[in-house]
Amino acid sequence: MSEEIKELAQILKGSDNIVFFGGAGVSTESNIPDFRSSNGLWNEKLKINFTPEQLVSHTFFVRYPEEFFEFYKDKLIYPEAEPNDAHKVLAKLEEMGKLKAIVTQNIDGLHQAAGSKTVYELHGSVLRNYCMKCGEFYDEKYILKSEGIPVCSKCGGRVKPDVVLYEEGLDQDIINNSVNAIARADVLIIGGTSLVVYPAAGLIDYFRGSKLILINKSETSADRRADLVIHDSIGKVFKEAFELMTKD
């Protein structure tokens, strides 16, 4: 076991005011790929090459709804995905009273599936979908089984995922809650994110606590600011640190 993981275990053991800020790297260990890793997608019907960012933009949703949902259902909803060790350890830390909040850029709902209660979803969730006309709620199963553009069974309006698309603003209440949690934390753990997506990545600037920890397979722009940096699998790191922390 590395010295870094031993240090992480000691920090976890000594704090009861931890916040976790996570990104796509947390979910990739549950076999959910980071859609931005694609170089682009050629759409035969439209005869245009789109970037993944364009495919999940508000403009694309409005102009090409059928193609939007084709990509959305294929690349963003993973009904078979299960929480991994990172999700599970974070839920246990919350249960122990150590972790106060999770701030996530992920939209898969796996933190809640693992048992976490205080989760601020900056970019929304694929598990929630609403009729744009009457507000009726639909789960992800309704979207997956729908053909073409999902429509409301009550009023016939178009159903939109409760996901923040490119060109759309983040929910102000969720931002405020995230900022408050990070600003009050003694320990901030950043995991599975390259910290390149703004404004979400800028939230770490509100941290005023004693220990900033970064867990990511590759280097990030915040590595120099961190008190502890671990370049390894986040699930493995959390599992080993938690086992060490709870060992008598």
Residues 60-84 pLDDT 10s: 999 999 999 998 998 899 999 999 9
Amino acid at 50: F
> 123 falls in which pLDDT band (50, 70, 90)?
very high
Say if residue 28 is in the same domain as residue 39: no
Say if residue 158 is in the same domain as residue 201: no
Say if residue 52 is in the same domain as residue 139: no
Classified as helix, coil or strand, 206 is helix
Prediction pTM value: 0.93
Read off the tokens for 171: 């929910």
The reported pLDDT for the residue numbered 209 is: 96
Residues 6+ apart with CB under 8 A from 67: 43, 45, 46, 55, 60
> 199 falls in which pLDDT band (50, 70, 90)?
confident
d(CA 169, CA 222): 24
Q: How many domains does the chain have?
A: 3
Say if residue 219 is in the same domain as residue 175: yes
The reported pLDDT for the residue numbered 8 is: 98
Contact 32, 108 (CB under 8 A): yes
Q: Tell which of 163, 191, 223 closes a domain.
A: 163
The answer to whether residue 58 is catalytic is: no
d(CA 79, CA 77): 6
| Strand 137-138 to 187-191 pairing | unpaired
Say if residue 93 is in the same domain as residue 176: yes
The reported pLDDT for the residue numbered 35 is: 66
Which structural domain, as residue segments, surrounds residue 50?
35-75
Say if residue 25 is in the same domain as residue 49: no
Q: Which member of 58, 87, 111, 123 is catalytic?
A: 123
Say if residue 183 is in the same domain as residue 90: yes
Say if residue 70 is in the same domain as residue 151: no
Say if residue 190 is in the same domain as residue 68: no
